[in-house]
Amino acid sequence: MHKLTIPIPDEDIRALHIGDTVFLNGIIVTGRDAAHKFMIENYIRQPVSSEQAELYEEIKQLLDGGVIYHCGPVVKQHEDGRWSFVAAGPTTSIREEVYQPEVIAHFNLKGVIGKGGMGPNTLKACREQPAVYFHAIGGAASLIAQSVKEVVTVHKMEFGVPEAMWVIRVEDFPVVVTMDSHGQSIHEQVETQSKEKLGQLLAI
């Protein structure tokens, strides 16, 4: 079991291997399809405009050595204007495969949280960065929300609550490493084994 504080140093990432349980502490940022597309189109594949410069610098600082969470939270706004997470379960990550390697490299990301794993391009980016993919437990949204101790702020609310970029402070956020910086992927292994089993069944 590992306890890691964000931002995470490279040596701590390299010390992780698939199957390791990790408890994350610090600031993480949620981001799904709209957020990844926005970052690619406005920050990565073209020069940052003056209108986007302030937000870019803030996001860059948050993600440098940091973690992005594929999550569409259920939130509650209190009378004083504060937000809190009611449910914070992971969403399927593979949709971000077309964006994730560039986001990892550009922002020096050290971790991606989601469910279901990602593809070979993200695995390659994890090896080069280094970074890891953290699997969060699907179906435990309310339990995971208990690890979210504070909603620091929210960006791009115009995308809608699930797609907005929520900046949250977490304590002992439970995850499992399923893609590491050494080129190992539990998801890849499962896919290979499934194909082999399918081949055996079809040969019968």
Domain ranges of the chain: 2-203
Both tokens of residue 85?
Answer: 């997470």
- The whole-angstrom separation of Cα 124 and Cα 104 is 11
- With beta carbons less than 8 A apart as the criterion, state whether 203 and 45 touch: no
DSSP structure string for 92-126: BSGGGTTTHHHHHHHHT--EEEEBS---HHHHHHH
Which residue type occupies 175? V
Q: What is the pLDDT of residue 144?
A: 80
Q: What is the pLDDT of residue 204?
A: 54
- With beta carbons less than 8 A apart as the criterion, state whether 35 and 77 touch: no
Mean pLDDT (10-residue bins), the chain, 204 residues: 96 96 96 96 94 95 97 90 88 95 97 95 97 84 83 96 96 94 85 56 56
Q: How many C-beta atoms surround the C-beta of residue 22 within 10 A?
A: 21
Residues annotated as catalytic (active site), given as ranges: 36
Architecture of domain 2-203: Alpha-Beta Barrel (3.20)
In a 3-state reduction of DSSP, which class is residue 44?
Answer: helix
Q: What is the pLDDT of residue 101?
A: 97
In a 3-state reduction of DSSP, which class is residue 84?
Answer: strand
- The whole-angstrom separation of Cα 25 and Cα 46 is 33
Residue whose pair of structure tokens reads 């590491």 in the numeric block: 180
Length of the chain as a residue count:
204
Which positions ≥6 away from 147 have C-beta within 8 Å?
88, 170, 171, 172, 173, 174
Q: What is the pLDDT of residue 198?
A: 47
Nearest 5°: CA angle at 93, between 91 and 98? 140
- The whole-angstrom separation of Cα 46 and Cα 40 is 8
